[in-house]
Amino acid sequence: MGQNLIHLTVNGIEMRVFVEGSGSPLLLVHGFPLNHRMWQSQIEYFKNEFTVIAPDLRGFGATEITRGTVTMKQHAEDLNMLLNELNLEERVLFCGLSMGGYIAWEFWKHFPERLRALILCDTRATSDTEEGINNRLKMVDLVLKHGPESISSSMIPNLISEASQRNHPDIAKNMIQMIESTDREGIAASQRGMAEREDYSSEIGGIQVPTLCIVGSEDQLTPPEVMKNMSTQIPNSKYTEIPGVGHMAPMEAPAEVNQEIHQFLMSCDQS
Ligand code: MLT
């Protein structure tokens, strides 16, 4: 597969997806409310060895928006259809960050035959508390009334560690730009979908594929204890913590994260 930023009709919507490289398929599933560009460093690093597939999910980036609620299952179904459209029969190495991880649970549940390995960055298996759900619905109201500019800057302290904000101001700038370029209806729809997502903590013990759990040591949203505990429940799982960085570990510490993922993928090749 060559180099491409392509537009495809997938599951009834126009989807933009970055596809590049050759070799085993590595599917990069972005977090909220971002787009495939959050994986820029991973795309650059892995495209020489893998077929890197990095879509803009429904309602994000340049992919068509669905108003209302977009569930995590809907996103997983879109990804399954995307792989069909790309004629990819080989099982995928699924790498998801945060919301991308919530989608990974649904992908595993509904399309287990498509999965070769899981890489879960800064995510959790539990559903939201009542307070968490209320906060999401407040954000939906705010963003629908006042647009993504009303949430972008205030999200940064939860997403990026203080050290990263101080030492690499370009990361926050890049993220704000991604958030502000996202349509308010797309943000609202997935935010509602996350609010109603299931709790997977009692099911993840059934995951059979090799799994890597990566978390930033300063992650405020899905802290190391949460990820560590989650990792111990997945049978064939490795846990790794990246020092000094927050929720956006792949953007904040790309070299370390890429190395961890690479080592893991090499070990999957041998298993
Ligand atoms: C993300 O990074 O995708 C979000 O933090 C997910 C969430 O809001 O739970």
Domain residue spans of the chain:
2-270
* Model pLDDT, residue 58: 98
Residues 68-86 as b or e (16 or more Cβ within 10 Å = b): ebbbbbbbbbbbbbbbeeb
The ipTM assigned to this model is 0.97
pLDDT of res. 171: 98
Query: Are 146 and 227 a contacting pair, CB within 8 Å?
Result: no
- Reported residue count of the chain is 271
**The pLDDT of residue 269:** 76
Distance, CA 50 to ligand 1 centroid (Å)?
A: 26
The pLDDT value given to residue 2: 47
- Per the listing, tokens 């977009």 go with 70
Q: Which pLDDT score is estimated for 179?
A: 98
**Would you say 130 and 62 are in contact if contact means Cβ atoms under 8 Å apart?**
no
Nearest to 213 by CA among 98, 92, 46, 89: 98
Q: What is the pLDDT of residue 3?
A: 53
Q: Does residue 72 line the site of ligand 1, with CB under 6 A?
A: no
45 Cα–ligand 1 center, Å: 24
> Which residues does the chain have with pLDDT short of 50?
1-2
Please state which CATH number belongs to domain 2-270.
Answer: 3.40.50.1820
